[in-house]
Structure formats: structure tokens, C-alpha cells
Copies of this chain bind each other. A is one copy, B any other.
């Protein structure tokens, strides 16, 4: 009995930034490449907050995986939920059957990290998936519709108080965009209707926003948000959800119908068998070549991988790291296929940036600290270039141009039933 295995098989788990970078690097690999994801699309997560704030259509930040894969060699795509990875048996396990591999590139990404706050997890909106972003948009717009029909001023105030927890890039970008959506709603949709005050509150546990940025950029971001009417509260530690909102460690209760959780992520809890010890934030420590210690056929890329830079600081959980690691892991697989040794991964830090709505952004590129219009234009261009799908680029560019010149947020739709 002979079981012919003419070509080795490389399985990529996850069609996010890491997985797609690996797919691209493996385009002409002498191997069968299989990509597995539970969704049939790649999601451009950096623009999720714009979906949540009615700025862009959800479809415009999602690109069908098969469409991407058809342009990049002959990868086989399987839409399936990976339930575990058998590292000894070298099999990816799904409800639709096991997928054996010779080499594995594991890039499943991350989940929202609620830091064990169960009641908060039940009440809060995350911003990690397309459906979460659409649900948040529907929820925010519905608060205004409900407030317009609500006679009680205190209830209206709770409906129109929007809490965003976490002052990292996601929280900063979310509150900036939210303040612009609110202005459109107040000046247009509810013009002449007295709903009472609308509050947007950004809570950050540390003593400044945007911790990974230089302090002067944190200050610029806070100042820009405050000028947009956002209440920026620093040193605010969330203790638990209260019935009517959120309770801080100092006892303050903020009454609100809307809690957006942008305070952090955890590496995907996907079970690895045998389980490996995880480091902080549920990440899996990898060797310098991105290989899983003890399992040299398995590479980890992106948010799930724990690796430190030369200074001993963990690499951040963000798209540029995932892209570079996905590419590096795939190149190491190519080396192994060619009988060579894998090489160490080195992260090339091209900078950090966050936008704060119209004309404002902060960016840290090498020794440069940029703020204002120039940073904003760079932010726009970088995101447009990285967004996958030419038609998506056109639609997003149209949306941005439209909203910029008309001071609009067009996708003000409540699409749930």
C-alpha cells in the first residue's frame, strides 16, 4: 500500500493580515497551500470604527478570500471554524474534517480582552468583527431615534451618553469619528429637536492616551478630542458594569446605554494540543524564526505570536507586525522546502499613527512626530493603499471625499430588524 504525497502541504490558519501576507509569499511555492478561515472574507480591521460610525459601507472593508486567492497562485480555501490544532499529529481540526499539514502558519488573530469583567463583557460592544461594528452603528443610531420619542429627560441623557473604554488608537479613532457622527445627527437629522446634551466620554486607565506614542502626541490627541467635545478622562479604571452604566474604581458611576470596549485584545484562545504555555495577553511565545518551540513545522504570525524586540519589549498586536510576520513565516517555510534553515524575524518599525477625525491625526515615524493635516493625509493614503480590493478603494475614497466636502456621514442606517 503506497500513499503518494507528491507535494508537501502548507496550511495557513486565518485570512487576516498575517495569513494573507503568508499566502502572497507562498504564491509560487512548490507546495499545496490551503487557507482556512471561518469567514469567506478578509477584513480590513483598521477601518472597523468607520463602519461603526456610519462613515463607510461594511462591504467596502471586506474582500472575498477566494477573490484574493484566485489572483495568488492556486491556493485552496476552506471556509471552516478551526476548533483545535493537533501539533503532534500535524492536523488542523475543523467540524468539516481534519486538514493534515506538513507546515503550518498559524495566524488566527485575537479576541476582545475584557480582563475578566463578565458583566462588562455582556453589556459592552466590541469592535473586532464586521457584525460587531454594524451592531454598534445600529445601536448608536437607534439611541437617537429612541431619545426622540422619550419624554423622560434622565432616560434621554442615558441614551445619549456614549462611553468608550480604552484610550489606545481604536478608542481615540472611535471617539473622534463618533463626535463627527453626532454633529451630523444634531445639525441635520435632529435639527430643531431638543434632545438635551449628548456626551461622548473616553475613559483611559493610564495617565495619558495612546501609550505607545511619544507623550507630546498623546497630549495633542487629547487636546484634539477635547476640542471636538469629547470628555477625555485619564486615570479612570473601570471596576464593573453597573445596572445603568459603568462603575469606576473610585466609585463614580457613569450612566449610559452605550459602552464601547476598546481596552485591549487577547491572543486567539484556539486550543493547541498539546497546550503550550501562554504569555501575557494569551499570546504564544515563539522562537526568533517564528517557530513554535518543540514543533518546528508550526509557525505563528500576528497577534497570537509573542516575540520581543531587541530592547526586550513585546512586539505590539497590530497589522504591520502581522503582515511582516506572515511574510517571514512563509519565507521560512520556503527555505525549509528548499532544504535550507529558517532565519530570524526582525520587525521593521515603520511608525505609528492614529486619526482624530477631520484634518487631524498624530503620527510617529522614526524620529518624526507629526500632527495635524499632514499626519492626516499620510494616514488617509496609507489606509487607502493597504485596503485590499480596487473596488473597495474606490468606494472608500468616494465615501471619504463625500463626507469631507459635505460634512456628512452617509451610512446612517439601522439595518437590524
Residues of A at under 8 Å CB distance from B?
39-41, 57-60, 62, 64, 66-67, 70, 74, 78-80, 96-97, 129-131, 141-142, 145, 148-149, 188-192, 391, 394-395, 398-399, 402, 410-417
A97 to B188, CA, bound (A): 25
Q: Are A412 and B40 in contact (CB under 8 A)?
A: yes
List of B residues within 8 angstroms of A391 by Cβ: 398-399, 402, 410
Contact A415–B130 (Cβ < 8 Å): yes
Distance between A279 CB and nearest chain B CB, rounded to angstroms: 29
A398 in complex: contacting residue of B79, B130, B394, B416, CB < 8 Å: B394
Q: Which residues from B are CB-within-8-Å of A64?
A: 189, 412-413
Given contacts A149-B96, A395-B398, is CB(A188)–CB(B70) below 8 Å? yes
Min CB distance, A100 to chain B, in Å? 15
**Cβ-neighbour of A188 out of B66, B130, B192 (below 8 A):** B66
Known contacts being A67-B189, A74-B192, A141-B40, is A413 close to B148, with CB within 8 Å? no
Asked whether A189 lies within 8 Å of B70 as measured between CB atoms, the reply is yes
In the complex this chain forms, how many copies of it are found?
2
Cβ contact within 8 Å between B79 and A414: yes
**Are A131 and B39 closer than 8 Å at their CB atoms?**
no
Known A60-B57, A395-B395, A398-B395; judge A79-B145 contact (CB<8 A): yes
Q: Which residue of B lies closest to A390 (CB)?
A: B402
- Select from chain B the residue with minimum beta-carbon distance to A392: B410
A80 near B149 with CB under 8 A, answer yes
Closest to A415 in B: B130
Query: A414 to B189, Cβ gap below 8 A?
Result: no
Residues from chain B with a CB closer than 8 A to the CB of A58 are 59, 415
Q: Which residues of the partner chain B approach A70 to less than 8 Å between Cβ atoms?
A: 188-189, 191
Would you call B78 and A39 a contact (CB within 8 A)?
no
Say whether B57 contacts A415, CB under 8 Å. no
Q: Closest B-chain residue to A63, C-beta based?
A: B413
Residue of B nearest to A79 (CB): B145
Contacts of A41 in B (CB 8 A): 413-415
Give bound CA distance, A182 to B416, whole Å.
28
Docked CA distance A190–B78 (Å): 11
Q: How far is the CA of A190 from the CA of B188 in the complex (A)?
A: 46
Specify which chain B residues have a CB less than 8 angstroms from the CB of A141 in the assembled complex: 40
Residues in B whose Cβ lies below 8 Å from that of A413: 40-41, 59, 62, 64
**Which residues does chain B contribute within 8 Å of A398, judged by CB atoms?**
391, 394-395, 398
Residues of chain B contacted by A57 (CB below 8 angstroms): 57, 59-60, 395
B131 touches A412 (CB 8 A): no
The residue in chain B whose Cβ has the minimal distance to the Cβ of A145 is B79
16 A–B contact pairs at CB < 8 A?
A: A39-B414, A58-B59, A58-B415, A59-B413, A62-B415, A64-B413, A70-B188, A70-B191, A78-B148, A79-B142, A79-B145, A80-B149, A131-B416, A391-B410, A395-B395, A398-B398
Report B-chain residues with C-beta under 8 Å of the C-beta of A412.
Answer: 40, 64, 66-67
